[in-house]
Structure 1
Amino acid sequence: MEPPHDLDKDKNDRNSAAPTACVLPGLVDLQVNGYKGVDFSGGDLTEEAFAQACRDMLAAGATAFLPTLITSPAQVYERNLPLIARVLDAEEFRGRVLGIHLEGPFISRQDGARGAHSAEWVRDPDPAYLDELIRLADGKIRLLTIAADQKGADDLSRHATGRGIAVSLGHHMADEADLARLTAVGAKALTHLGNAVPAVLPRHENPIWAGLTADRLDATIIADGHHLPLSILKTILRAKGPGHCIVISDASPLAGLPAGEYWSMGARVRLEANGRLHNPTTGYMAGSSATILDCANHLASLGLAGLGELGAMFFYNPLRLIGVSPRQVAVSRRVLFDVRQRRVFLE
């Protein structure tokens, strides 16, 4: 797909003769860290709580998704990965909870690039430890986020790809050479491009510019209205094109909860009434409070995507990245797009 000729242009005229509501193929979210107080990386996660969080996330608009574990201590992986894998075997989640996204532990230790992940649990690239995580997850890891600028990242990417896992690059300070090297050994995407970088960067030599020009890498983007300013969102869409963008929610365990102050990911965080979730001490974002349906509505409301672009960025592109056929997805509720009101909703 090619990007729209003019992302600023009001699309009302173009859509004026269209039906009021058109059917979208679905909304697939590759990055969900938890929901309604249930932390998928939490040391107290239970099968019952995880299963209910999955039901709630699906009811909130996700057609299918990947539960995501962030950088964690070994005992959390040893406990939570088998637990999650068992629940994923349940018939009710077949074709709906598609596998696991491991975001870490092989990321940068640098402040800013590390995001909300704990430096204490970050690991150097280690194919043998990845094999152990794959074993714990009963082979259900679909997506792995690693830092491209770490020594041994190319060997890890090659190894993961050989095990059938899609590799995405993020939480790093990678330059163009790093991205090219990792692409050559199987990396397919960039994790939440424009985020998980320090607040102040070199003007030209930085991971955002490098990612924008990495033509062979898809970009996942958090289109929740808080993580990316409109100017950056437009720039990524123009540089990558809708055919190579994947919208994610990056929903935190606090998504679906009321505004207030909470303890999450080892730190005090604040959920504002407008949905912005951040660490008031560091100023960095602490994940998202949005669902994938919220993200679809945000993007649609801006007039930046029509029916075809939404279908690509929310359904076909994420499935292509993780190697899942659209026919394998169990669509239980139709997703509709009102082209005149620029609104996405469930039937």
Structure 2
Amino acid sequence: MAAEQGFGIFKGVEYCTNKPIILKTNNGRIVKKLDGTGNNSDNLPWIAPGLVDLQINGYSGIDFNTLPLSFESVHKATEILWKEGVTQYIPTVITNSPERIETILEIISKAIESDESRHTIAGIHLEGPFLSPEDGPRGAHDAAYIRPPEWEMFVKWQKAARGHIRILTLSPEWQNSPNFIKKCVESGVKVSIGHTAANSEQISLAVKAGASLSTHLGNGAHAKLPRHPNYIWDQLADDRLWAGMIGDGFHLPASVLKVIRKVKESHTILVSDSVNLAGLSPGVYHTHVGGKVVLTPEGKLHLAESPDLLAGSVKSLRKGIENLINMGVCSFQEAWEMSSLHPSTFLGLQTKDGLKVGSPADFVLFNRNKNEIQVIQTIKNGEIVFNGLKVEKN
């Protein structure tokens, strides 16, 4: 496996066909795809499209929502995510004061436009502050900053972000939501329904106005709901809505994950929704949202005083894929595509065609020990941005 002066040759077993292939890259693109020889029992790695995370709040001690934040620290997070096989991601900025949101958006936009990012950051996901004020659906978002949608404020934030806000999560229970959603969509922003207590009519109007995604469906909700109708059923049943879901094994049980996948099919997107404690060692931590929290060896993050209450997700997309397979939710190919091709398709990214000739050379080489995934190399635009093992050049 080699990549020099823009030209590279990579060999592996294709994730979806189980057959050996050879990918040749040049100028950041896949220029040839050839049949190879051997198989993964011959010590060939697997090869698959790079992972794409549409919802990530932080990683390995770096919090995209806590000031001071520098674009250097955002770059550091990008480099760490390369080790996880992530070739594109959307930093998520959550509910905060208008001034802090503006500052954070400015910093992340600088990271997006710098050469160091290698175009790994595909935009910004603004989750809030136009969410439900109710306990339960609001989740961990600060009630002091929850507010109804305001177009002038969003325009100001988008200007601070230099146009990089790609996804906005809101609750359509606010009276002016349909008109606001329509303006967002017309401006090129994807609108997602989340942290909501909206009724059936409000959700229907939101989708009619252009909302196209459900943010971590099944979470950010009341602990108890009417059996029907309710806003989870309404979103699940609407074929126009894609569904994001957290696959860490704690936010949703296998039965719910399986139902969402079966109903939404190719419109299912796996997200990490990880917080800054993801990738850190088990222990007791203090966070600006949950206060004193406990990260268990199993990867569960909960409030120290209430073990039943989650304080966020701390597992990467790679671990989410492993969890879905171990829980019997779906096949390996399906789990991987939920984490790569599906989010790319939703956002209209050039990587939506995966390993086809002409696509960006964004892919991952990895080993599988049963269902455990070990990333060997991450290739971004034809460049090896992470090399986990010493690999001989061809």
TM-score (norm 1): 0.88
Cα pair 1:63 1:331 within 8 Å, conserved: no
CA distance in 1, matches of 2:360, 2:79: 14
Cα drift, residue 300 of structure 1: 2.5
- Is 1:124 matched with 2:180? no
| Structure 2 counterpart of 1:300 | 325
1:29 to 21, 38, 53: 53
| SS across alignment from 1:157 | helix
Tell me: CA distance 1:80–1:113, structure 2 relative to 1, closer, same or farther (3 Å): same
- Is 1:247 matched with 2:277? no
Cα drift, residue 178 of structure 1: 2.1
Cα drift, residue 262 of structure 1: 2.1
| SS across alignment from 2:198 | coil
CA distance in 2, matches of 1:281, 1:116: 15
Aligned partner letter, 2:374: F
Once the two structures are superposed, the pairs formed by residues 1-347 of structure 1 within 5 Å of their partners are: 20=40, 22-241=46-265, 243-268=266-291, 269-281=293-305, 283-326=308-351, 331=361, 334-336=364-366, 338=368, 341-347=370-376
Aligned partner letter, 1:168: S
**Equivalent pairs: percent with the same residue?**
34
CA distance in 2, matches of 1:256, 1:16: 30
Tell me: CA distance 1:17–1:36, structure 2 relative to 1, closer, same or farther (3 Å): closer
Gaps of 5+ in 2: 1-16, 21-38, 353-357, 377-394
CA distance in 1, matches of 2:330, 2:77: 29
Cα drift, residue 22 of structure 1: 4.3
Cα pair 1:26 1:311 within 8 Å, conserved: no
Aligned partner letter, 2:223: A
Cα drift, residue 156 of structure 1: 1.6
Rg: which structure is higher?
Answer: 2
Q: Number of aligned residue pairs: give it.
A: 332
Bigger share in strand: 2
Gaps of 5+ in 1: 1-14
Cα drift, residue 335 of structure 1: 4.2
Cα pair 1:27 1:63 within 8 Å, conserved: yes
Instruction: Out of 249-258 and 303-312, give the one that drifted further.
Output: 303-312
Tell me: CA distance 1:329–1:96, structure 2 relative to 1, closer, same or farther (3 Å): farther
CA RMSD in angstroms comes to 2.4
TM-score (norm 2): 0.78
Cα pair 2:254 2:329 within 8 Å, conserved: no
Tell me: CA distance 1:286–1:302, structure 2 relative to 1, closer, same or farther (3 Å): same
Aligned partner letter, 1:63: T
Cα drift, residue 125 of structure 1: 0.8
| SS across alignment from 1:334 | strand
CA shift digits 1:161-200 (9 cap, x unpaired): 1111111110001233222211111111100001011212
| Structure 2 counterpart of 1:8 | none
CA shift digits 1:198-255 (9 cap, x unpaired): 21222223222222212210100000111101111111112222x0100000010111
| Structure 2 counterpart of 1:12 | none
Tell me: CA distance 1:330–1:254, structure 2 relative to 1, closer, same or farther (3 Å): farther
Tell me: CA distance 1:298–1:91, structure 2 relative to 1, closer, same or farther (3 Å): same
